[in-house]
Structure formats: structure tokens, C-alpha cells
Chains A and B, each alone.
Chain A
């Protein structure tokens, strides 16, 4: 078995998949064996819209170090936004 804790959240936004842009409604975040990345385990994020079917998915597989760096970068970017813009 190769599945560990999965965080599933609802999100609002858009992603670009194999057939173009689509609205996102869900995301899964989990640490597991990757499909493509050259690592035994990676932090994987699936950006999804299940109502549009299983192919409405944008997937990323990041090393743990990369995932932590990404999380910090997201927080830093949001922290730098001028007051009033985060409606």
C-alpha cells in the first residue's frame, strides 16, 4: 500500500489542464509515491473539478523540501499584498 494521510479541501479558482482552463472546486494534498517525479515519495497536490470528470485535474509532485518552500512562498506572497486587496 502506498497511500498516506490525505487532506481534501474545497477551493475556488481556475487551473489549466490538458484541454485548457477550467474552474477548480477541490484539492487533494497527500504524501505518496509519485507517478513521474524521480523520488520515492513526494508531496502531491491534485487541483480538481470532479463535476467535470476525472480528467479535470492539474497535478503536481514536489519533493518535501520543495513543497515546504512553496508553502512559504505562498504565505510570503499573500503577506505582501497591500491591505484591502484580500477581499
Chain B
């Protein structure tokens, strides 16, 4: 792997045929490549998540991150768009599934694609990664500290999301979960309950919870960054996608 890649902003037709912005990074060369849909965190389609998208391409995966806030604030900066989305209750679940499905379809149709598509999401995107994996035919899913899968949002929270643990029976692929032991949303009790439900259903999954680590530990430009957890998490992601998506 020579890590050569190309990256660019493109448009895709997402949920309802809406044209939305998306960030594409893919390896140079003929393939075959596995595909990864990257679901950005609640703060939006920002430079940190674009860097993550390029990282997948450097590791041999074609990666596409749809701008889930594009409709809320076309052309606005990521933080302003995220604030607008937050104020309007967040990204609706059906719209998320449509956008991720369109992104996966785009990647699977690229020259050199091996036909396997996974998803990864951070923060609110962790819940959305699980939602996508229960709603679409995918090959591997990663949930990075997604809350409100088992428990409802705390009282007073403006987000309109509801628990989706009831969809677990429809989980279409193996699930990797990466969590912080000090996180409150999701707290370890919530992720343990999700693991129990998946065990009962015989759904393949592996969860890792890092001590001394809270929410958002992959974000290198924030105080929440925890280098040890992030490095180990990336190693687990490469191993997991290597088994289910690669070549």
C-alpha cells in the first residue's frame, strides 16, 4: 500500500433524491477497494472528520462522508450548520438512512470497488451507524460512542431521536463498538445492555470500553482527545474492516 489518494468535494443524490454535498477520498490505483461511509459527529461536516475520511483512503478504502447538515444550511460553515441542525431537532432518522444508503451505493459503483461497504460514525453518528446497519444491507459497522440507542435522550434535550435498540434483530452485519468508560452518553451501562441484546439475538459484535476516557476521544483537535484510546481504537478498526471489507 503506497497510501496515494485523491480527495474532493462532490454532490450525491441522497434521501428523496436531494442533491447534497459529500466528501470523497479514495486510494489511487485499480483496486479492489472496500468502501466506508463516514458519518460525521454532531458538530458537523468539519475538517477533523474530513481528515478521518482521508485516513480511510490512505489505508486502502474508498470513503465518502455525506454532509448530513447540508439541507439545514447549504453553504454555511460546519459549526453554523451544526447549530442550525441542533436547533431544529437534529437529523431525522429516515433522512439519515437515505443519505447513507445513497453514499454506499455511490461507493459500490466506483471503478475498482469490491462491492463491500461498511459504515462508521462518531458521537450522534455512532447511533446513526447502528441505525444504518439495521436499515441497510452493509458488510461491517463501527459505532464510536453513540448514545440513545438503548436509552431515550435526557429530559430537556432538543434532539428528537428515540431509542432504536428494537431494530437490533435487523442488524445486517458485524458491529464494532468503541466507547469511553467515563462517558455519560452513552454510559457503560447502556452499551452493556446493547451488547446483551445483541448476544441474545446472536448478532456478531465486539465492544471495547476504554478507562480514563470520555466522549469524543477520536477528535484530535479537542480537549476530549485521548491518544491511547484513539490509537488502540484505530488498530481495532483496521483489524475489523480488514476482516469484513478489505480486498
Contact = CB atoms under 8 A, between A and B. Distances in A.
A14 interface: no
A53 B80 CA distance: 9
- Dominant SS among interface residues on chain A: loop
A54 B215 CA distance: 26
Contacts of A54: 72-73, 76, 80-81, 83-84
Interface stretch (B25-33, B146-154, B228-236): B146-154
B166 to A, nearest CB: 18
Interface in B54-83: 72-73, 76-77, 79-83
Contact of A1 (B77, B84, B127, B156): B127
A28 B87 contact: yes
B158 A6 contact: yes
Contacts, number: 85
A6 B147 CA distance: 18
Given A2-B185, A2-B215, A33 B161 contact: no
A59 interface: yes
Nearest to A28: B87
B80 A40 contact: no
Contact of B73 (A33, A37, A53): A53
A33 B43 contact: yes
Interface in A40-84: 40, 46, 48, 50, 53-55, 57, 59
Nearest to B123: A2
By size class, the interface of chain B is 35 or more
Interface stretch (B95-103, B105-113, B216-224): B216-224
A3 interface: yes
A1 B153 contact: yes
Contact of B185 (A1, A8, A35, A53): A1
A87 interface: no
Interface in A7-45: 8, 28, 33-35, 37-40
Given A2-B123, A39-B223, A57-B83, 20 more contacts: A1-B127, A1-B148, A1-B185, A2-B215, A2-B216, A4-B156, A4-B157, A28-B83, A28-B86, A33-B216, A33-B222, A38-B223, A40-B223, A46-B87, A48-B87, A53-B73, A54-B80, A54-B84, A55-B73, A55-B80
27 contacts: A1-B42, A1-B124, A1-B153, A1-B159, A2-B41, A2-B123, A2-B124, A3-B153, A3-B157, A3-B158, A5-B154, A5-B155, A6-B86, A6-B156, A6-B157, A28-B83, A33-B43, A33-B215, A33-B216, A33-B222, A33-B224, A35-B43, A40-B214, A53-B73, A54-B81, A54-B84, A55-B77
